[in-house]
Structures are given as C-alpha cells and as structure tokens.
A and B are shown apart, each in its own frame.
Chain A
Amino acid sequence: MAKHDKLLREANEETLRYITRRHFLLDCVTGLGAAALGSLLTGCGSSVKPVDFSADPMAPRAPHFPGRAKSVIYLHMAGAPSQLELFDYKPELQKLHNQLCPPSLLEGKKFAFIRGVPKMLGPQAIFSQHGESRAWVSDHLPHFATMADEVSFLKAVQTDQFNHGPAQLLMQTGNARLGRPSIGSWVTYGLGTENSNLPGFVVLTSGGKTPDAGKSVWGSGFLPSVYQGVQCRTKGDPVLFLTDPDGMNRDLRKQSIEAINDINRQEYENFGDPETVARIAQYELAYKMQISVPDVMDISKEPAYIHELYGTQPGKESFANNCLLARKLVEKGVRFVQLYDWGWDSHGTDENLAIDYGFRNKCREIDRPVAALLKDLKQRGLLDETLVIWGGEFGRTPMQENRDGKDMPYLGRDHHVEAFTMWMAGAGIKKGFSWGETDEIGYAAVKGKVAINDIHATILQQLGFDHEKLIYQFQGRPFRLTDVGGHVITPILA
C-alpha cells in the first residue's frame, strides 16, 4: 500500500504544480476537473506531508534543528575563475613554466580543449600571505586579502563536469542534467521566507550574460514553481512585467486583483484545492512587490560612503551593485540571494578571456565589492547569520591551453575538474581556515577532497537541515539536493 500512497500523493502534487504554472489555462472546464481530482486525491495521499501547501507556501517554517544561517548569499563566478592565479599558490609550477606537460598528467584524461601535449603555465600573479591565518591570496585581490581571516577556503573541490552548462547545473542543482530544483528552491521549499513583501529567492546577474546553463540554474525543477528564483535587475524595471501598464493606476490594479482573488476564493470553496490559496497569496505578493521591490532595489538612496565602500554606480548593471543589493535584500529578510557574474572563462582566445588581461579586469571588478560585502555584513551583525559562498563551476588547468594543438594568441587555461578553490564565510563557518590541499603543481586534489554535493550538504547543514531528510517525492522516488551523496564538511564548521 505504501507504494500506492506515494504515487497518489505525487499525482496530487503534480496536479497542483501544473495548476500553479498554467493557472489561466486550467480555469477552463478541464482545469476545474483537474482541481476537483486534486482535491479528491488530497485525502488519499496525506500519509507524509513535508510542506503544508494549504497555507502560504512561502510562509517561514522551522528547519530540522536550529540553524546557524538565516540567509544565504551565493556568489557564482560563471565561466570558472583560475584558482592558480587567486588562492592556490604553486611555486613549483613556476619552475615548470613553458616546459612540455609530462605525459603522466595527460594519459587517460579528457580536456575540453587541450589537445596533444600542452606547455605548463606558471602562476601569472604574485602571491603573499595575509591575516593571522597566513592565507595565500594573490595580488589580483588586494581588498579581499584583507578579509582572509573571515573565510574558510576549500582548496580541493572536485567536479565531474568539464563543460560550463552541465557543471553549472551540477553546482546549482546537484545534477548535471536539466530538471532538478536549484539550491535556492530547495532552501525556500524547506524554510519559506521571512519577509512577506519580497520574494524568498532572488537572482542577480552581471557581466552582460546569464550563465551558460540558462535560467534552469535558478529553476524550481520538480518543486512547485512558487519556489523558483525571481530575477531582479539593477537597470530598468527591477522585475520584468511587474509595473502596471500605462493608464492603470494602483487602485484599479488593487480592484482587479481583488476581483481575481474573489473568484479564486469561490473556486477554493467549491473544490478545496490548497494550491488556489497559494495562488491568491501570490497575487497579493505581486501587488505588494510593486511597491516593495522598487524600494529595496533602489540603491541610489544609500549614503555616499557605502557607494565608496562597494564602488557602486546606481543605474548600472554591475557586480558591485549586485553585492550591495544582496546585503540590502538579506537585511530585509530575503532567504536566498544568488549572484552570477559572467566572464571568467579565461581560455586565452581573446584579450577579454586572457589570464593576463581580461581575467585581471574581472578580478578588479569583484575584488572591492566582495570585500565590501563581507565588511558591510559584518558591521551590521548580519555575517553571523548569513552564509556567503564564492566559487565557479570548476577550476582551470595548470597547463596552458593549446586549442586544437595550436598556440593561443593570449595566455589561457583550460577547464579543470580535479581540483579548484571555493570559499565560504559567516554563519558558523570557521574564520581564517583552509581545508584541502592539491599536489605541488595544483593539478590533483590530494587531501581534504570536497565533492559538489558535500558543498550542498554543508549549506543545508548551516540552515538547520539534515540534507538526507530534506526530501521531495517525484516520479516514484524521494529526491534530495544531495541525491545519494553528500557529507557535511565538518572541518570548516566552527
């Protein structure tokens, strides 16, 4: 019987999912039928209810155990920055500079672009140790270096995807294929959100492009679509299609939403479908967001010294603006803020993607804002309850890229899956700590290896979840963000 219960409950939730997304279509007769079926099935599949959808699906909920983090800010450097020019200092690699790569590093390995025998590429940055933790940070990040004592570095993160799209999906959804919910969706599904006037999961992009994997990296996958990320912009309308069209004033908008909600309430009285209640709540949130979002997204009212700290320029699309916004959103009780900054794919194919040119410019663009974000969170007492994560989707090779076996016009490195650096800070993460080591040329992880789902397990852990128990039933089996893997990286927990 347990098997049937599962399927029935799932059929129920599935129905609800489509009602969310296709509400208007389902207002027709078939829709009413589906809603009726949904309400009939509610009773059948009520044995386990992880989230009660009958109330506001975004209402705050308690985690498994008291969490250290209330919010998460995830800084994803799309394209994958080179760990060898930023944090993973390898003087031995300098000695091998321009020599041919030894065959032992190439045998049985696959690279995205390297063909034949490439040359080794020594670190293109000057490293020094910083803070009491004596952490190695290169001269590309002089401002961030002052915050080295606040973070825990993960020097031996490993992935199994060497192309951007799948690797970004793996990093953000726990699976390299499409269709899984993103971290932010899982977190808002588990915890809801505190501020009822703002979305719980906000996405901010910079660098001119969205990530290679597309908007699926903030999609809700098989979770109800109410948990997907809401993309906000610093240029133009903060949220697309949220402002009223010309000629419609706020009173008229209010009346129309009230009319729609009245009809929805009647629908709910007739069919008792909990998702209708969620729909009513969403209309109300959208109405509230028309005021609250432009307000929170407006950074022009911030004092001058804050703009100086972050290096922000209101009205532009920039990583700095997004960092300042991330702080503002978290301060207002937004649960998960996801930043994507595009332009880190330093192959050496052109000047913008050169390790010695474009890469340095990217570093400059993020250096001050990241340091400012950490400092600003800290002085407001927010770093204590906000988990900050920085990283790309993979690392870069200690070899110089030789696309198609030819020398490149600029210095560049290929995609590398075996070891790269990420860092975490705040919310119960150790300060001034480093976990994991790579070999003497930064090719392979040798100690403290960390898998992508270990990162996810740790994020959920700090929010108060046992990652093995945050589960959603779909297609006949329970799903988790960490799938069948994941270990909390306990060494970096304070």
Chain B
Amino acid sequence: MKILAASGNWNLFIGRIHPLIVHLPIGILIIAFVLALLSRSSKRSGLRAALPLLLLAAALSAIASCAAGYLLSLDGGYDEQLLNTHLWLGIGVAVSSTLLYLLTVLNKLPRLQLPLFVVLLLLVSAAGHYGGSLTHGDDYLTQAMPPALQAFAGQQKAADNAPAYTNIADARLYEDLIAPVLSSRCYGCHNAQKLKGGLRLESVALIRKGGEHGPVMKDSLPEESELFKRLVLPDNDEHRMPPKGKPQLSPREVELLYWWIAQGAPTGKTVKELKPNTRIQLVLEAMTPGKALDHNEFVPEATSSSPDKKAIAALATKGVKVLPVAASSPYVSVSCVNAPGFSDADMALLHPLRAQLIWLDLSGTRITDAALPGIAQLSALTRLELKHTGIKGAAGTSLAACQELRYLNMSGTACSSAFLAGLGKNKKLRQLYLYQANTDAPTLRQLQQQLPKLAIDTGGYQLEKLASDTIIYKKKVV
C-alpha cells in the first residue's frame, strides 16, 4: 500500500469521490422534476412544499460534484475535448439548479420554472453521458450494442476513422502511424495546457525539446530514450507511461515507436523509404487496412440479429451443438458430431436459426432427401457438410436457394447427377468434395464450365510405388 500512500494526496482523494457524489444531483433532480409535474394537479399541490428543499440539496450536491470533478481532472490523462465538454455541462447543471432553487424559493417567474427544469434535465443527461465516456471510453456503449444497432452506429464510425493511406508502404511513418498513437495515448497530459513533467509531445520539435527532466529522446537510440523506455516498464512502476489505469499502447504501437526512434525520428518519410526490416514488416502488414486478420470469407460482412436462444436449447437436448462462429458474432455453426441420431424430423429445429446459421455439419446423421427442402431454407449457409448421409438428390431436390454456399462436402453420398448439375445455380460455390460419391464425368465437366472458379475434388488419390520406397540404407560390410 506504500505506493498508493506515496502518490495519494487530498486533492486526488476528494477528486476520486466525484464519481460517487455526482449521482446525488442526478437522482434528486429527477425526483424533484417528477414531484413538480405531479404537484401541477390540484389534488397533489401539497407536494410543492418539498421542492425548495430538494432543489437546495440538488444545487449543493451539484456544486460539490463540480468541485470534486475539477480536482479529479487535475490528475490528468483524460481526453481534453471530452473533459471540457463534461466540465462546462457540469457547471451548467450547478448554475441552473442554483438558479431554479432561487426562483422557486423567491417564487419568481413561475412560467419559466418548468422549461428551466427540462433544460436542467437535458444538461444532467448530457453531462452524465460525457462523464461516462471519460471513465469507460466513448465506445463503452456501442461495444455492447446488439448487432442491429451497432450496424447503424458502426457505419458512421468506420467512415470517421478511415486511415489516410491505402497501402501501408505509402503511409508516412510519423504523420500517419506515430502521431495518431501519441495523440490518442499521450497528448491528454503532455499538451500546452497540462504540460505534465514540463513535456509536450504534439510535434517532433516539442518531443526533441524534452521536459523538465531533460530530453526524452536520444537520436536513433530507443533503449536510451525515456519516450520508449517508460512504455515497457512494469505496470505498477510509478514511472510507467501511460500511467496505470490509463489506456495503454498496444505491443504493435510500442514496436512502431521503437522503430521510429531507431530511424532517427524522421518526419514526412514513408514506410517504403525507410526500408522496414522483417520484424517491423510483420507489424506493418498486420496494420494494413483491408487485410484485417479477422477476415473470413465464410462469414458474411453484414451483421444479423441474435440467434434464437430457445432454438439453441431445443437443439442441445438432441445433442446438437450450436456455437457462435466468434465470441461477438451473431452467426452460428451447428455440428451434429455428437448427434448421429439427427434425422429428417429434427430439421425443423434448425429453421428458427436460418438467418444466422452459416456453417452446418450433418455428416454421419440419419438425414435423407426429405431433409433437403429444410436445408434449402437455410439461405445464409456458406459451409455445408453432408458426408456419409442418405442424401441421394432425387428429382425435384436442389440447393439452389442456398445462394451463399461456398463449401459443399458430399463425400460418401450417392447423390444423383441431376442434383450435382443443379449446383451450377450456386454461383458462389468454390469447393465441392465428392470423394467416394457420384463422379459422373460429363456432369462434372459441365458443372466446371458453368462455375470456372469451383474446385471439384473427387479424391481417390494414390501415391506411386517407387523403388526408393523399399530401400533400406545400410553401410556395406566389406
């Protein structure tokens, strides 16, 4: 606890009470507003007597919150712009609640009281929102949003954050890669107003100038530069930057900064001109826009609604596992590896998941052609495995409705040629496996012509017998 004692002081202590007492004016103002509304009816006019006391309490707690909040802001590390908005909104709440209290007590301008109340509530909401963004980050809510809402909010966000380069090799190292990191992680404290440690980091000239303890960057020597060294100190070291509890640089960003210092902190130079070494090349490639590491062509770009929980539970009782394809994805995969008894009658259980079900493995189950209409309704499918099932593809059956299908595995089935020919309608199909299945050559040739990008694998591979297969290498005994 020594560390805390050393870094703590009265200002910070009172400041940290801000998040606690800030909820008092919010609650009091809301209840006062409700009472003010109710007291408008003559039946409940007696409630009006409570208003002055409530408003006094609200005004005092709002002023106390402002004071505590100001002390907390001195600790630094908050987004400057966001902090300013929150600060002035908070002062607005304190001022207008005091004003409202005075008007009520003095019984002046009764017509203005209710509009002022509404304004006050709006101010409180806005101040609360920005306060939340300050502590939890401004993506706190959007991250947890259901996908449908997120799509709406996310689209706008992506447009705002689009990088200025399309190819990482053409990105300017300082301007496009380093400065944005410094801006989001360091400017908050090291700017003209805050000047923590007497250091500003908003431009290369200011970085070179250093702070009150001297220079922070030794040319081309990252290991001897405070600007790098402090980023990699242990979490709880008091010299660690950004300090504990503040948003940290990612390992990739640290590595980039290291490289930038090692290159002599150039400006205006593109990555290409600086000839990245292979390690940095890997970092850079991971940052290339468009080639996101989590991209997967078997998952739709668009989002979907959440899958039906009841349907998932119903399938679970049959031993069928429904799993999101990724932790935050609405799309699901269904595997019947533990449910060999899954049959045509159970197909209806999959139907509620038709919008989210993209990977389906029915291999080795008891399904037959009667399941095909049910499968065809699963229009989001990108991967479908029907290995070793009784699917025959009788006349009239088809998967033409599964327009998103990319991967189809019919190995070990007796599917008909007509069914295979019908796959020509699945324009996005890229992989078709027919090992130990119908491999009627004219049909497959025709299918290949229709879908030139389709890879058809009929298997049955063997390896040649070579003379060297049986040679045992031994030293000749003389």
Contact = CB atoms under 8 A, between A and B. Distances in A.
A142 B468 contact: yes
Given A194-B321, A449-B278, A468-B251, A378 B468 contact: no
Interface in B422-462: 431, 433, 435, 457-462
Interface stretch (A18-26, A64-72, A85-93): A64-72
A381 B462 contact: no
Given A195-B337, A364-B468, A384-B407, A449 B461 contact: no
B463 interface: yes
Interface string A54-72: 0000001111111110000
A197 interface: yes
Contacts of A333: 335, 337
Interface stretch (A95-103, A395-403, A412-420, A482-490): A482-490
Given A487-B283, A488-B286, A381 B323 contact: no
A32 B194 CA distance: 56
Interface stretch (A165-173, A293-301, A354-362): A354-362
B296 A357 contact: no
A461 interface: yes
A467 to B, nearest CB: 10
A368 interface: yes
A19 B325 CA distance: 32
A375 B278 contact: no
A361 B337 contact: no
Nearest to B472: A361
B279 A63 contact: no
Contact of A464 (B326, B387, B435): B326
A371 B433 CA distance: 19
Given A66-B296, A380-B411, A351 B475 contact: yes
Contact size range, B: 35 or more
A309 interface: yes
Given A64-B294, A66-B299, A332-B337, A380 B329 contact: no
B409 interface: yes
Interface in A200-242: none
Contact of A61 (B293, B323, B335, B435): B323
Contacts of A142: 466, 468
A379 B461 contact: yes
Given A66-B294, A195-B337, A375-B463, A384 B282 contact: no
A308 B293 CA distance: 40
Contacts of A491: 282, 285
B435 A380 contact: yes
Interface in A461-494: 461, 464, 466, 468, 484, 487-491, 493
Contact of A381 (B293, B325, B407): B407
A372 interface: yes
Interface string A437-456: 00000000001110000100
Given A197-B338, A454-B282, A488 B433 contact: no
Contact of B411 (A381, A454, A484): A381
Given A196-B338, A384-B407, A372 B463 contact: yes
B279 A62 contact: no
B326 A380 contact: no
A196 B319 CA distance: 10
Interface in A325-361: 332-333, 351, 356-358, 360-361
A60 B431 CA distance: 26
A381 B433 contact: yes
B2 interface: no
B474 interface: yes
B324 interface: yes
Nearest to A144: B463
Contact of B462 (A68, A309, A410, A464): A309
Contacts of B286: 487-488, 490
Interface in A146-196: 146, 194-196
Interface in B298-329: 298-299, 321, 323-327, 329
Interface residues of A, number: 57
Nearest to A305: B462
A379 B474 contact: no
A375 B458 CA distance: 11
Dominant secondary structure at the A interface: loop
B17 to A, nearest CB: 16
Nearest to A196: B338
Nearest to A451: B279
Contacts of B475: 351, 357, 410
B471 interface: yes
Contact of A379 (B327, B431, B457): B457
Contacts of A66: 294, 296, 298-299, 325-326, 329, 331
B43 interface: no
Contact of B282 (A196, A484, A490): A490
Nearest to A487: B282
Contacts of B387: 380-381
Contacts of A356: 473
B335 A194 contact: yes
A461 B286 CA distance: 12
A143 B468 CA distance: 10
B431 A381 contact: yes
B436 to A, nearest CB: 9
A490 B462 contact: no
A490 B321 contact: no
Contacts of B471: 364
B324 A62 contact: yes
Contact of A490 (B250, B285, B466): B285
A146 B294 contact: no
Contacts of A309: 461-463
Contacts of A410: 475
A194 B321 CA distance: 8
Nearest to B282: A487
B111 interface: no
Contacts of B136: none
A476 to B, nearest CB: 11
A195 B338 CA distance: 6
Contact of B433 (A195, A311, A376, A380): A380
B253 interface: no
Contact of A376 (B294, B338, B461): B461
Nearest to A354: B475
A360 B433 contact: no
B279 A490 contact: no
Interface string A27-71: 000000000000000000000000000000000111111111000
A464 B385 CA distance: 20
A379 B435 contact: yes
A105 B433 CA distance: 51
Scoring A332, A410, A449, A487 by chain B CB atoms within 10 A of each residue's CB, the highest score goes to A487
A65 B294 contact: yes
B139 interface: no
A175 B185 CA distance: 32
A62 B282 contact: no
B469 A368 contact: yes
Given A146-B463, A332-B337, A360 B473 contact: yes
A138 B27 CA distance: 78
B291 interface: yes
Contact of A143 (B291, B411, B466): B466
Nearest to A332: B337
Nearest to B325: A66
A65 B459 CA distance: 31
B298 A381 contact: no
A447 B278 contact: yes
Interface string B236-248: 1000000000000
Nearest to A371: B463
A305 B130 CA distance: 69
13 contacts: A64-B326, A65-B327, A66-B325, A68-B296, A139-B468, A194-B321, A194-B335, A309-B462, A358-B473, A379-B459, A461-B293, A490-B286, A493-B293
User: Which 7 pairs show the lowest CB-CB distances between chains A and B?
Assistant: A379-B459, A65-B294, A381-B433, A487-B282, A381-B409, A375-B461, A66-B296
